[in-house]
Amino acid sequence: MSGRTASLATLAGIVLLLPLALQNNYYYEVAIQVGLNAIVCVGLNLLIGYAGQISLGHAGFFGLGAYGSAILTARYGWPPLAALASATAGVAVLAYLIGRPILRLRGHYLAMATLGMGIIISIVIATEDRLTGGPDGMPVPALAAFGAALSGERVWYWVVGATLLAAVWLALNLVDSPHGRALRALHGSEVGAEVTGIDSARHKVKVFVISAVYAALAGSLTAHYAGFVTPAKVTFFHSIELVTMVVFGGMASTFGAVVGAAVLTVLPQALTVFKEYEMVVFGAVMMLTMIFMPRGLVPTLALTLSGRRLPR
C-alpha cells in the first residue's frame, strides 16, 4: 500500500533530519526519550487502539524489560545483547501466561486485572532489594556489542531511531494483515467477530504479547541507555502516562501513538518556563485537546486536512 510506505518514509525523513535541529546533548536526550516512549506507545496502541483492550499495567512490562536487562548484566555478568533478548523473551512468555486467563475479562474487569498485575510487578521490584537495589534503584552496564560499548547521546539517537522505525514498520504491517483486520473486527463487536469465525481469544492474546514485547524492549533499551534504573518507571502512574500518550495522539493510529509520545514527552520540558504553574498549564493543554479533539491529535488533524467531516 503506497499510503503506508509514504507515511513510513515521512517518519524516516524526520528521524534522519532531526539531528540538524538538535543543538546539544540535552536535545538529543529529549529526542531519545521521545523515541523510547514512542516504541512503547506504538505497541500499546495495537492493543488499545486497534483491538480495543485496555491495559493499565504496561509500565510493569516496561519495568520487567528494564530490570531483566539490569539484573542479568549487572548481577550475573551476561553480555548485554543476550540479556536484552532473554528479558524480552521472558516478558513475552509471562504476557502469554497472564494474557490467557485475563483477556477473557472485558472492560473494567480487564482494566483492573492489568492494573493489579502492574502493581504486583512494581511491589516485587521495590522489595527484592538484593536483586533490584530496592527503591533507590541500581546501576546498569552500557550496551556493548561485538566488543564496542554504545555510549553517548548521538550514537544512542541512531539506535533508538532505527528501532522506532522498525517498530512502526512492523506495527503498520500487522495492522494491514488478516490479524490486524481480525483485531479491528474484535474492537467493533466481539460477538460479531466470533460469528464470522475469528478466534477472539487467540488474537487478543497475540496482540497482548506483541505489545508487552514492545514495552519490554523499550524498557531494556532505556535501562542500558540511562545506565541506572529505579522503580519510578514501573509504577501505576507510568502506566497511566503511557495510556494517556496513546489516547492523546489518537487511538487506532500508529503515527498518533508516536506523536502522542512526542508531545507528552517534550511538553513538560517546554513548560518549565511557567515554573510553579507548570502542572496547571499541562493540565489545561490536555483538557482542551481532549475537548476539542476527542479522537486524538493525529486522526483529527488528518481528517481536517483531507477536508472530510468526522464519520459517525
Partner 1 sequence: MKFRSMLAALAVLVLGAAQAQEPIRIGSFLAVTGGAAFLGDPEQKTLELYVERLNAAGGVLGRKLQLIVYDSAGDAEKARTFAKRLIEQDKVDVIVGGSTTGETMAMVPLVEAAGVPFISLAGAVVIVEPVKKWVFKTPHSDRQACERIFVDMKARGATKVALISGAGGFDKSMRAQCLQVAKNHGIEIVADEAYGTGDTDMTAQLTKIKNTPGVQAVLNVGFGQSPAIVTKNHKQLGISQPLYQSHGVASKAFIKLAGDAAEGVRLPAAALLVAETLPDSDPQKKVVLGYKREYEARFKSEISTFGGHAWDGLMLAVEAIRKAGSTDKAKVRDALESIRGFVGIDGVFNMSATDHVGLDISGLRMLEIRKGDWTLVK
CB-based contact 260:249 (threshold 8 Å): yes
Per CB under 8 A, 135 contacts partner 1: yes
Per CB under 8 A, 136 contacts partner 1: yes
Find the binder of partner 1 among 1, 2, 6, 24 (CB under 8 A).
24
Per CB under 8 A, 27 contacts partner 1: yes
C-alpha span between 149 and 196 (Å, rounded): 52
**Per rule CB under 8 A, count of chain residues that contact partner 1:** 31
Site for partner 1 in 262-281 (CB under 8 A): 266, 269-270, 272-273, 278-279
C-alpha span between 140 and 130 (Å, rounded): 15
Q: What is the dihedral of CA 14, 46, 173, 192, to 10 degrees?
A: -150
Find the binder of partner 1 among 5, 10, 25, 304 (CB under 8 A).
25
Which three-class secondary structure string do you get for 190-239? HHHHHHCCCCHHHHHHHHHHHHHHHHHHHHHHHHHHHCEECHHHHCHHHH
CB 72, min distance to partner 1, A: 20
CB 19, min distance to partner 1, A: 12
CB 14, min distance to partner 1, A: 13
C-alpha span between 154 and 221 (Å, rounded): 15
Stretch that binds partner 1, among 69-77, 78-86, 221-229, 282-290 (CB under 8 A): 221-229
* Beta-strand pair 144-145/228-229: unpaired
Which residues here bind partner 1, judged by CB under 8 A? 21-27, 29-30, 33, 126-127, 129, 134-137, 139, 226-228, 230, 232-233, 266, 269-270, 272-273, 278-279
